[in-house]
Amino acid sequence: MDKDSDILAALGLLRRSLAAGRLGHAYLVDGPARGAGGRLAERAVALLYCTGPEPRPCGSCRNCRRVALRSHPDVFWIEPQKKSRGILMEQVDAAQDHLALSAMEGGWKVVVFLDSDRFNVYAANHFLKLLEEPPPRCLLLLVTERPSALPPTIVSRCQRIVLPGGADAEHPGLRDPVTAAMAGEGLG
């Protein structure tokens, strides 16, 4: 399978979960933020807001374009700060503030953490509270090539999607039902 088909397989699983009303509130995407992991995150977010034809996301409707441009009002993107090269507590506070507001479109609120392995200790502990008590209809996406750099308490509260080439792709013991379903192993 090439990387695009792997992204499509993961997206298909998320699409089915959304249709069944069983989309999780937090996913850890094991893949590069500037590669397959980032593309999957963008498409997963677009899936929530797409108004185009099936199969969704269409990639061309107004909402899909706004997600791609990172200008959708219900989606908040967080990357490590340039000077510190880390995700800071102030950014987690901003994410919580974003999630506390009512959704403007589509009913969902989303926060995407790119290079999420770069939470500083304080931010990670602060973020853990959000993971433990998420608001309704919110989606938290953590994208990283180094999931082992995240605190185990964060990893354990997320459903994992391991894309080929991700750090844990070669360790089947680290798979969860999401990854297993992508690999054709079913959802137990």
The residue with greater pLDDT, 91 or 1, is 91
Q: What are phi and psi of 159, to 5 degrees?
A: -80, 140
pLDDT digits (tens, 9 = 90+) for 158-180: 999 998 765 554 444 344 444 44
- pLDDT-above-90 percentage for the chain: 76
SS3 170: coil
Residues 6 or more apart in contact with residue 39 via CB below 8 angstroms: 7
